Structure 1
Amino acid sequence: MVKKFTDDASGKDTNRPGLRKAMHWAKSGLTDVLSVYRVDRFSRNLRDTVTPPGYDKDKATEHLYVDEAEAAVVRLIFDLYTKDRLGSQSIAHELNERDYRTRKGGLWAFKRILTILENRVYVGEIHFRGVVAVDAHPGIIDPEQFEEAQRIMDERGDNHANSAAIGSDYIGSDYIATGRLPARSAAPRFWVPGPPARPRPTATTRATSA
């Protein structure tokens, strides 16, 4: 450990002395990785952000853990896109035909498929207002498959940089409004020690989130 930063201020925003110093070090290249003991130290707004499909949130620690019933659908979406090479419209149609429904019980739409495919939360990262937390929680998608999905999206012009009207309130997707971050982003990267995935009971219905 090179340096320790203390952040005792309120988590209502990111304009705090300790956090500003840490981010300055990261942006200046003075450190490779910043370790943060809890993701919600970034901002209370991050803590209150909607939990993405495939995850649930531990109310005590605010850590994300895998919801296996929902995660199975997320994995299916990535498989249909990267292995079967279906488009987002076709994937939405396929899920609806198989009687998969969103967490709210609605039908799948292609915009939600694209949001899932771009969200780096599925490789264990959280992106929020230029801050990147790595290893923040267990990933659902293998990094190689995720990057293959990004390559296909760029090739097809499916990414949100070309679909600016599509937004998301999900954790990890704040960067979508201005386009997907490149693989070698200059954004400060944080390492957050997270808990291992918790086993979940097998769901009796096919459901995930939109």
Structure 2
Amino acid sequence: MRIRTYTRISTDEDHQPYSLEAQDQRLGAYIQSQEDWVLTGRYTDRMSGSTLDRPDLQRALADARLRRYDLLLVYRVDRVARSVRGLSQILEELDRAQVVFRSATEPFDTATPAGRMMVQLLGIFAEFERATLIDRVINGMERKAARGGFLGGPVPFGYRVQPKTGLLIVDETERPVVELIFAQYVEKRLGTRSVAKWLNERGHRTRAGRHWSHVTVFNVLRHPVYAGRIAFRGNTYDAMHKPLVNLPTFEAAQRLLDERGEDFSKRRTNNTDYMLSGLVSCARCGNHYVGAAAHGRSARYRYYVCFSRQRYGEHGCQADRLPADELDEAILQTMLATYADESRMARAVADACQRAEEDLPQHRHELATVEAVIAKTERAVERYFAAFEGETLSAKRLAGRVAELDERLNELNTRRQELLDAIDHERWTGPTETDLGDLKETIEEAIRAGTPAQRKALLRMLVASITVESREAIHPVFRLPAEPPVRLMSTMVDPVVQHANRFARIEAFPICLP
């Protein structure tokens, strides 16, 4: 039986109850005690068990789907997941791949119904332990807040942290800027955008050296730390640090913010109202365009604006604003015309297939080399463990050398997965004429009868990029789907982005807005 192990620690190994070395030793001994078990690989993560987005865990699941091993062995169940939901997802995926899951220190495995039930129960206890830890941390932070101590995190502009005490102390170089922000907003009655513009024109910058924006100004005005208060979980407490503004000024700023409705977190937004948000990029500064609106005397005007210009004004970027309705319609019509151009599509398919075919031999050769090095490195790890068990190698030297080899194996396995993914994409042969005809019909249907959400989904599927030089020079690039798109009107599933070939891009004719 082909066995692979999974080990994990959260932070500093020296402060973990189950070090990677201890887990590896126990797993190795357990494997040797079983007949016909052959260790074929190891997976190791140094991350929290609260998330499943761990590199080697995902690699283990990917290898399971490819049937590269028969059993996944862990030291304890909480090494693989600390929540019932996460554990269930992992077990379901392993079960679909017909891979058994077993714990070396807990007498349960998923080869039997009883074992599967007990693994679920262990996951419940792991989740309970994590929740208890979170409660203890929150209670500790609440006690610290009640004493007026700084709770950590980003240090507010205008302060520094005293290393010995952990308390906030005033930064005399930044303090005047904080006082100016409150004075301009409360006394001069400027809005947050006007305050940001006023600061930028006079050369003031944030701690990171960036321009001030209405958001960063708002964050200063809202933060109770400047009034000598510490906020935690809806409560505020008297702080131990020195305030930068008096309480009446701070309270006046809060009333003015509420009256003007400048709390952005409470504003309702409708992302589907801007179909191209996140797809349009600025050729001047590289940032994305975002949706914005303005109210005239008789109507509401929608437009796209470069993020740098919206946040920092013309000091950030001088790119043109683009009328949203006109740009949305121009992109949809250009997309329809591009996919209806049979000769252009045929050239795109041929070029993409040729480039994929040219890379395939090189990637296959590299994959063979990487897998040979992985096998050699895993054999070296086994020899080190054999030397340790034969008492010819000390534990200290074993740990150091195996740690180096494990790091190397992680790099090699990551590269192997990248090559496997690339080879899968390079076997792509392109859509058929029937597929392209269905795609054209889907686009026409979405333009004619689709909802804004359906049109936005279509654009997410087929738009690779839209680069704006000016109103007169907008350059869309579309994706060539690796398989037929599903009907947006029924399922709204998006297979194209997941399976699009990395070579398959179609540059459309530039767009000029009136």
User: TM over 0.5: same fold?
Assistant: yes
How far off its partner does 1:69 sit?
Answer: 1.4
Residue deviations 1:38-76 (CA, integer Å, cap 9, x gap): 726xxxxx33x0100010000111100111211110000
Contact 2:146 2:238 in 1 (8 A): no
Ranked by relative contact order (alpha carbons within 8 Å, sequence separation 6 or more), the top structure is 1
Aligned equivalents of 2:220, 2:229: Cα separation in 1: 13
RMSD between aligned residues:
2.7
Alpha-carbon distance change, 17 to 143 in structure 1, aligned in 2, over 3 angstroms: closer
Structure 2 contact 149–239 (Cα < 8 Å) conserved: no
Cα pair distance change 1:35/1:85, threshold 3 Å: closer
Question: What residue is the counterpart of 1:114 in the other structure?
Answer: 218
The question of 1:76 aligning with 2:180 is answered: yes
Q: Distance in 2 between matches of 1:51 and 1:164?
A: 29
Tell me what 1:124 maps to: 228
CA distance in 1 between counterparts of 2:138 and 2:223 reads 28
After superposition, give the CA deviation of every residue in 1:135-186 in whole Å (9 maximum; x if it has no partner): 3311001100011111111111112453489xxxxxxxxxxxxxxxxxxxxx
Helix, strand or coil: the match of 1:99?
A: coil
Matched, 1:155 2:265: no
Q: CA shift at 1:16, angstroms?
A: 3.0
**Equivalent-residue separation in structure 2 for 1:163 and 1:61 (angstroms):** 39
Match of 1:174 in 2: none
Task: Say if 1:129 and 1:81 are closer, same or farther in 2 by CA, change over 3 A.
Answer: same
Counterpart among 142, 145, 151 of residue 246 in structure 2: 142
Contact map agreement 2:186 2:249 (CA 8 A) in 1: yes
Task: Say which SS state the counterpart of residue 15 (structure 1) adopts.
Answer: helix
Inter-CA distance 163–56: structure 2 relative to 1 (3 Å threshold): farther
Instruction: Work out the CA distance in 2 between the residues paired with 1:87 and 1:93.
Output: 10
Distance 1:110 1:17 in 2: 34
Distance of aligned partners of 1:17 and 1:126 in 2 relative to their CA distance in 1, 3 Å threshold: closer
**Are 1:15 and 2:125 an aligned pair?**
no
**What does residue 39 of structure 1 align with?**
149
Q: Deviations 1:79-120 (Å, cap 9, x if unpaired)?
A: 000010011111110100000111111111100111111110
Larger-gyration structure (1/2): 2
Q: As a proportion of its length, which structure holds more strand?
A: 2
| Contact 1:39–1:133 (Cα < 8 Å) also in 2 | no
- d(CA) in 1 for partners of 2:255, 2:162: 33
Distance verdict in 2 for CA 1:19–1:70, change over 3 Å:
same
- Residue 148 and residue 130 in structure 1: after superposition, are their counterparts in 2 closer, same or farther (change >3 A)? closer
Greater helix fraction, Structure 1 or Structure 2: 2
Q: Contact 1:122 / 1:141 at 8 angstroms: preserved in 2?
A: yes
Identity of aligned residues (%): 37
- Structure-1 separation of matches of 2:240 and 2:264: 24
How far apart are the structure 2 equivalents of 1:35 and 1:114?
A: 25
Query: Residue 127 of structure 1: SS of its match in structure 2?
Result: strand
Instruction: Give the whole-Å Cα distance in 1 for the aligned partners of 2:243 and 2:213.
Output: 24
SS at match of 2:174: helix
Q: Structure 1 residues 99, 84: CA separation in 2 closer, same or farther (over 3 Å shift)?
A: same
CA distance in 1, matches of 2:193, 2:138: 45
- In structure 2, list runs of 5 or more residues that go unmatched: 1-132, 270-514
CA distance in 2, matches of 1:92, 1:18: 35
Q: 1:150 to 1:70 in 2, by over 3 A?
A: same
| Secondary structure class of the residue paired with 1:136 | coil
Runs of 4 or more, structure 1, over 6 Å off, are none
Instruction: Write out aligned runs for 1:31-110 (5 A).
Output: 36=147, 39=149, 46-47=151-152, 49-110=153-214
CA distance in 2, matches of 1:104, 1:113: 14
Flag the 1:128–1:97 CA change in 2: closer, same or farther, 3 A.
same
User: Shift of the alpha carbon at 1:128?
Assistant: 2.4
SS at match of 1:144: helix
Contact 1:125 1:133 in 2 (8 A): yes
Q: Distance in 1 between matches of 2:248 and 2:217?
A: 19
Count residues with an aligned counterpart: 135
Residues 1:83 and 1:129: Cα distance change in structure 2 (over 3 Å):
same
